[in-house]
Amino acid sequence: QKPDDLPGVYPNGGPVSRVMDIYKAAALSIDIISPDIYLPNYKEIYGMYYRKADNPLLVPESSLDPARAFYAFAEYDAICFSPFGIEDAAGDILFSSSYAVLNELLPVIAQFQGTGRMRGIHLNSDHQDEVMNINGYEVAIKIQDPAQPAFGLIINTSEQEFLVSGMNFKATFQQDSGDQISYIGKVTEGRFEDGKWIEMRWLNGDETYHHELLRALGREKEVDSGFQFRETNLDVGEGDQFVYSPGGSNTITTPGIYKVRLYQRSK
């Protein structure tokens, strides 16, 4: 768990990544060695436990952070992500909406697991940009607002098409093929229903900086900001009662889903 934990003190001594080979050799009935992860360096820990040949990533316990789920499935082909106390997130709009988007994406995620054409995204104020190579394309990701979470995934679904899901980041796509260079031809925002892609709107003009990049800002969701408070009715002897007080509505940003179609032309 923590670097300063002393040997012999719980939870040391278990089948952690550094002794995985010993456990795999001596305990043949073990199928998967899985980490529970609450530490902030979860990306590093995912990499320590994921081995494509004999140890798929399965996260049996983690914090209620949807970014960790997106990253596990997209970056390390996870077969399970199970946050602790998921029932506590029933009123968490960002978490529940993120899981709803993952549910839309599950058939596509399953299709592209193990292909090397899917990557996870998680940026913050300390790590605001990243460049990744996906199937010969250089994809540059940059956070939009460093004060807000930025996470998602990106899949190269065909030769000149990407499926991108997430919120609060920008992405550019380049494939330098000799005298040809890639440009964005079409950007759409949409959703999946029963595995079928449904376009909701085309993005252009200032929304894509005139097709220079994708702005994956996410879906905006109106939520009721009313609240309940406890009222004690002493006159009728009914004790404490919850009374609803309307409070208007707030807008919460949640992950969206986008398709980016590219084309090539001469430099």
Proportion of the chain in helix, strand, coil states, percent, rounded to 5: 20, 45, 35
Residue 230: exposure state from Cβ atoms within 10 A (0-12, 13-18, ≥19)? exposed
pLDDT of residue 242: 47
**Which H or E run contains 72?**
helix 66-76
Distance CA 257, CA 164 (A): 6
Q: Domains in the chain, start-ordered, CATH in brackets?
A: 63-266 (2.60.220.20)
| Inter-residue contact 251 to 165 (CB < 8 Å) | no
Question: What does the chain come to in residues?
Answer: 267
Query: Which string of b and e fits 107-116 if b means at least 16 CB within 10 Å?
Result: ebbeebbeee
Strands 36-37 and 61-62: parallel
pLDDT of residue 208: 93
DSSP letter, residue 51: B
Distance CA 251, CA 143 (A): 20
User: Rounded to the nearest 10 degrees, what angle do helices 66-76 and 93-112 cross at?
Assistant: 10
Each residue's pLDDT expressed in tens, for the chain with a length of 267 residues: 566 777 777 666 678 888 889 989 999 999 999 998 998 999 999 999 999 889 999 999 999 999 999 999 999 999 999 999 999 888 899 999 999 999 999 999 999 999 999 999 999 999 999 999 999 999 999 999 999 999 999 999 999 999 999 999 999 999 877 778 889 999 999 999 999 999 999 999 999 988 999 999 999 988 776 554 444 444 444 444 444 455 566 889 999 999 999 998 887
pTM of the model: 0.86
Tokens for 261?
A: 């179609």
| Inter-residue contact 120 to 141 (CB < 8 Å) | no
pLDDT of residue 124: 95
The residue among 135, 80, 85, 133 whose CA lies nearest residue 102 is 80
pLDDT of residue 229: 45
pLDDT of residue 10: 64
